[in-house]
């Protein structure tokens, strides 16, 4: 796995694209309505520079109509991941796969990165680790410093070094076997890590929607 940082030119290009898509995230856009359905506020959308690909920049035509999820570090935007937010009709055999794409799409050549990595610059003693961008945004909106990865398979040894030194690392695991895989990967080499698994079938965002921010924070032990 190659974790070499993108070139300055690439970062500038991605930052411009992210800015463009953030400007296209208007209150009446499908992406704004999707974020509202997930309980994410306009303030969170601004904080994470979320965007909507209404009018793709050149070369991004395949991402049209998707939610843009920028990966940002202190240099700027180092990657953008895209999420399909189309309401595919159930029972008609029409889904992301049938339409020729997966639910989440990375740009060609992009590798797995830690999401919301700038949180690691904050002077806190405890940090949460989530699976996925939406869960990370949800935890942060609830008041917890949080980072995330796009699935347990994308947790790499470099990330263990990044979260060393915290008094406590809390893995907010999904309520399924896959969620425990991420927890196990983090806890195996971080003696200050513990797992907080959501109830069966729920992830952090689902739990937040059902019970609210205060209940999520209490469950996580923050």
Q: Pick from 164, 165, 198: which is nearest to 182 by CA?
A: 198
Q: CA-CA distances (angstroms) from residue 220 to 174, 202, 217?
A: 12, 14, 5
Strand partners, 115: 148
Strand partners, 73: 76
Residue 62 has pLDDT above 70, yes or no: yes
Residues 6+ apart with CB under 8 A from 7: none
Q: What is the pLDDT of residues 200-222, one digit of tens each?
A: 999 999 999 999 999 999 999 99
Q: What is the mean pLDDT of residues 31-42?
A: 98
- Report the percentage of the chain scoring pLDDT > 90: 77
Q: CA-CA distances (angstroms) from residue 51 to 15, 105, 117, 193, 206?
A: 12, 14, 18, 33, 22
Cα 119 from Cα 21, distance rounded (Å): 23
Residue 92 has pLDDT above 50, yes or no: no
Band the pLDDT of 94: cuts 50, 70, 90: low
Q: What domains lie within the chain, and their CATH numbers?
A: 8-106 (3.90.980.10), 117-220 (3.40.1360.10)
Residue 3 has pLDDT above 80, yes or no: no
Cα 178 from Cα 131, distance rounded (Å): 10
122 within 8 A of 105, measured Cβ to Cβ? no
SS3 category, 194: strand
Q: Which carries the bigger pLDDT value, residue 83 or residue 1?
A: 83
Band the pLDDT of 152: cuts 50, 70, 90: confident
């Amino acid at each position: 796995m190659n974790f070499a940082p993108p070139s300055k030119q690439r970062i500038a290009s991605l930052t411009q694209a992210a800015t463009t898509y953030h400007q296209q995230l208007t209150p009446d856009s499908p992406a704004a309505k999707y974020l509202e359905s997930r309980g994410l506020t306009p303030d969170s959308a601004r904080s994470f520079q979320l965007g909507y690909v209404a009018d793709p920049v050149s070369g991004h035509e395949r991402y049209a109509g998707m939610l843009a999820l920028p990966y940002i570090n202190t240099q700027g935007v180092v990657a953008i991941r895209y999420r399909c937010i189309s309401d595919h009709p159930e029972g008609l055999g029409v889904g992301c796969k049938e339409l020729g794409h997966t639910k989440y799409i990375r740009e060609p050549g992009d590798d797995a990165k830690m999401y919301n990595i700038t949180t690691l610059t904050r002077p806190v003693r405890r940090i949460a680790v989530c699976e996925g961008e939406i869960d990370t945004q949800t935890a942060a909106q609830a008041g917890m410093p949080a980072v995330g990865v796009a699935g347990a398979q994308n947790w790499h040894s470099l990330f263990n070094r990044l979260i060393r030194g915290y008094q406590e690392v809390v893995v907010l695991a999904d309520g399924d076997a896959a969620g425990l895989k991420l927890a196990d990967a983090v806890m195996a080499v971080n003696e200050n890590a513990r797992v907080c698994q959501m109830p069966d079938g729920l992830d952090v965002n689902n739990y937040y929607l059902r019970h609210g921010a205060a209940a999520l924070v209490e469950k996580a032990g923050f």
